[in-house]
Structure 1
Amino acid sequence: MSEKSFQDLAHDDDRLVEKRISGEGVYDGIFLKMKRDTVSLPDGQHALREYLEHPGAVAILAVLDDGRILLERQYRYPISQAVIEIPAGKLNVGEDPLLCAQRELQEETGYTAKRWSKIRRIHPVISYSTEFIDIYLAEGLIPGPARLDEEEFLDVFAAPLEELLEWVESGKITDVKTIISTYWLERRRCASSNS
């Protein structure tokens, strides 16, 4: 068997596609919906696929003028622990992701930003969820009062990139959006110092 390049394989997605035959809603929650579909596999066999329908979210890599990164520490019920992560929040139906990022940064940390740029979109749990997270870089930060939601409790603090890298490497930070953002910022700073 000869090895194919990615370009060869990318033009042949039809041999991988699973086609939906039927489906049902299993659970309809506040913002998550559980679905169960019967699909036809590429070889003609049938299989069940269960997945969560998620409205999408944003995350904000907010960098202070001194280079430190704004972080939050909050309790995440599904894993029963307080975690360190960058500010983030879910999209409302039809909401523009950049406007959501601006709203979430201000609500959770009190900061607004003069400059915004999109870093990338990630799919954190592709095996069982439609969730995507658009990550934004926020710079030129201006402090102000936070306006947390009624059911939201968190600590806001700032740390240098070197500390974030250490926390990622040691496993103190396990949140995927924060890990990706930390490595992205390190790569960006390395590229800037080499030019």
Structure 2
Amino acid sequence: MKLTEKTTHKESIYKGRIVDLNLHEVELPNGKTSKREIINHPGAVALIALTEEGKLLMVKQFRKALEKEIVEIPAGKLEAGENPEDTAIRELEEETGYKTSQLKKVISFYTSPGFADEIVHIFEANNLTKGRSSTDEDEFVEVMEVSLEEAEKMIETEEIHDAKTVFAVQYIRNRTAESSP
């Protein structure tokens, strides 16, 4: 049996500034039909940005969907026609005020493939120089420099509570463990 679903009808429910919502009627591998609610997102980048002291740059912000503040690695959505590397450089400076002369792609992953096509590209940024942040007019963040140990405690207390940031902390933990004798 081929594991695929053919869209037989698609209806646009909502077109927004960040996401679109579409309702797909699909034909299943067994010939039956079902409906799928699909969120389309342009994609995003996130940055594992390390200071000279080895601290992670983080931003604290209120997330309306969660109704709480959380601490995250800097991130932002791709603009139309923008490549992920350019987005990463732009978002790092906008959110934290830092610039980087060393950007390395770490991984890309889908955030919620059961209902969304959003892909996040994670980059590591080193050789940072401090400048001035310039967040969007509706974006309010507090920039933080956090040690690995502090970040791990923040995961336990759910101050860090999103997958990309948990991934970043584990990535740094693994890299630190690999470089230890």
Aligned to 1:72: 59
Q: Distance in 1 between matches of 2:102 and 2:69?
A: 30
Gaps of 5+ in 1: 1-13
Q: Deviations over 1:127-163 (max 9, x none)?
A: 1111111000000110001111111111001010111
1:158 aligns with 2:142: no
Letter in 1 for 2:13: V
Alpha-carbon contact 2:108-2:119 (below 8 Å) kept: yes
Q: Distance in 1 between matches of 2:156 and 2:171?
A: 14
1:84 aligns with 2:101: no
Matched length: 181
Q: Distance in 2 between matches of 1:29 and 1:181?
A: 29
SS at match of 1:48: strand
TM-score where L is the length of structure 1: 0.90
SS at match of 1:22: strand
Alpha-carbon contact 2:69-2:159 (below 8 Å) kept: no
1:94 aligns with 2:81: yes
In the TM superposition, what is the alpha-carbon distance from 1:31 to its structure 2 partner?
2.4
Q: Distance in 2 between matches of 1:116 and 1:193?
A: 23
Alignment counterpart, residue 185 of structure 1, candidates 138, 155, 172 = 172
In the TM superposition, what is the alpha-carbon distance from 1:50 to its structure 2 partner?
0.4
Q: Distance in 2 between matches of 1:44 and 1:172?
A: 46
More helix by share: 1
SS at match of 1:16: coil
Letter in 2 for 1:73: K
Aligned to 1:33: 20
Letter in 2 for 1:89: G
Task: Provide the alpha-carbon RMSD of the alignment.
Answer: 1.1
Q: Deviations over 1:43-85 (max 9, x none)?
A: 1111000011100000011000111100000011111111100
Alignment counterpart, residue 176 of structure 1, candidates 163, 169, 176 = 163
Q: Distance in 2 between matches of 1:147 and 1:172?
A: 24
SS at match of 1:15: coil
In the TM superposition, what is the alpha-carbon distance from 1:114 to its structure 2 partner?
1.5
Q: Distance in 1 between matches of 2:79 and 2:180?
A: 39
Q: Percent same amino acid among aligned pairs?
A: 35
Letter in 1 for 2:10: G
Aligned to 1:47: 34
In the TM superposition, what is the alpha-carbon distance from 1:122 to its structure 2 partner?
1.5
TM-score where L is the length of structure 2: 0.96
Q: Distance in 1 between matches of 2:95 and 2:42?
A: 20
Letter in 1 for 2:45: V
Structure 1 runs of 4+ with >6 Å offset: none
Alignment counterpart, residue 130 of structure 2, candidates 143, 152, 157 = 143
Letter in 1 for 2:141: L
Letter in 2 for 1:109: T
Gaps of 5+ in 2: none
